[in-house]
Amino acid sequence: MVRTLPFWLIFVASTLGGITNSASTPIIPVYVEDTLGGDSSLAGAIVALAALASVIAMPIAGALADRRGYRLITVVGGGIAVVGMLLLAVLPTLAGAGISRVLFGLGNAAAMTVIMAWLIALTPANQRGRALSYFGLSVWLGVALGPQLGTAVEQLGGAPVVFLVCAGLELATVATIIALPRPRAAAVGTATGPITLPRGAVAGVWHAFRAVWAPGVAAAAAWCGEGIMIAFLIVHLAGAGVPAGGFMGGASVYTVFAVSVIGARLALASLPDRIGPLRATAIALSSLAVGLTIIAFAQDFWLASLGAAFIGIGFAPLYPSLTMLATRGLTSRNRALGLGLFSSFTSIGYGGGALLGGFVISIASSTLAFLIVAGLQFVALAVLTAFTRDESPRSRDRLAEPRDPAA
């Protein structure tokens, strides 16, 4: 699958969506201060609107895609994101900024959710771990390229020009999506037999939720770790005397984290397929817990970087492993809905990490905050192990994929 044109079209679309988000978001504080005359608290609220909208958009977009088709919902989502970016560029008011961020959050999240479901639909069951591992690199590539692009354009032409460029990137995303082939009508299912989708919308949502909730809990705990690290790592290290900038500053620890994710993702791409997604998830969550614990007690750049490397290595197989577990109980009729619900857990966890970290730091210390989130990884692993089983990869390869009731 990873050598086919459809895979790379999906990869490019995901990368463009990631660049759009990571290029525009860091410019919001500058835009709010220079254009709207607001402060950092207002900027934070406007940034958060997109995240809140994405939590709502993911399951709704998935449900609509299952019923109306992947291409239609993805193109509509991309179009809504384009409108959001254009409004941010041409309507310099507080109301305009709020509406534009909601539209961008709804549209971009919808498009990215269905793109992931599209990848699952096009990939044979025994290749999904590898495909998802490489696909996940598109997210980190977008994060790596977006801020540099946004900062460079803002310095040359100002914040509105950045938003116009991002609108163009969203248009390119839509054009890439249009070139994708129609997903095949095949079930993800389990190895024990076909799954019949319950009748009725409420029953359908409940069926999808039951399939993804346990992997979703693990995802929420893991992304809680990323959320607290992104939000409070520099603050935590500053308390130990580590400067924010410079080659050995707190900001450079993020670089170590990103490089670790990419390197480990390339090295461990086939791990979920070889040992099974549950075992791979157990290794990943344990690595995250170790990394967060090291950071909790880090007093210098090198120890913090070691912790960040453990976290990066943990995230490498985590995304494909949890996605494989989440999609195992879904069919082509509810796959996008299930993936939308699953993705919402990651957004909730990311925001929850920042909220939990801020609360604990305000009443105790950043060390305790990181330790609490480290402990959450083991709680999540216990929940996942109790409510999920992991088939042998060898046995799974011998079994044919269950027949989809919709086929």
State which amino acid sits at residue 275.
I
CATH 1.10.150.120 is held by the domain 5-178 = no
Q: Do domains 5-178 and 201-398 have the same CATH topology?
A: yes
Q: Topology of 201-398 in CATH?
A: Growth Hormone; Chain: A; (1.20.1250)
Q: What is the predicted pLDDT for the residue at 383?
A: 93
Average pLDDT for the chain = 80
Distance CA 104, CA 77 (A): 9
Q: What is the dihedral of CA 293, 295, 299, 303, to 10 degrees?
A: 100
DSSP of 211-277: HHHHHHHHHHHHHHHHHHHHHHHHHHHHTTT--SSSTTSHHHHHHHHHHHHHHHHHHTTTHHHHH-H
Domain locations along the chain = 5-178, 201-398
The pLDDT tens digits of the residues spanning 193-212 come to 333 444 455 666 777 788 88
pLDDT of 304 above 70: yes
Look up the pTM and report it: 0.65
Q: Decide: 342 and 212 in contact? Cβ < 8 Å.
A: yes
CA angle, 308 as apex, 305 and 312 as ends, to 5°? 135
Binned at pLDDT 50, 70 and 90, residue 360 comes out as confident
Distance CA 66, CA 214 (A): 22
pLDDT of 372 above 90: yes
Q: Decide: 102 and 224 in contact? Cβ < 8 Å.
A: no
pLDDT of 283 above 80: yes
Share of the chain above pLDDT 70, in %: 84
Q: What is the predicted pLDDT for the residue at 400?
A: 37
The pLDDT tens digits of the residues spanning 137-194 come to 787 777 667 766 777 788 888 889 989 999 999 999 989 988 888 765 443 333 333 3
Q: What is the predicted pLDDT for the residue at 258?
A: 77
Q: What is the predicted pLDDT for the residue at 390?
A: 62
Q: What is the predicted pLDDT for the residue at 362?
A: 77
Distance CA 122, CA 120 (A): 6
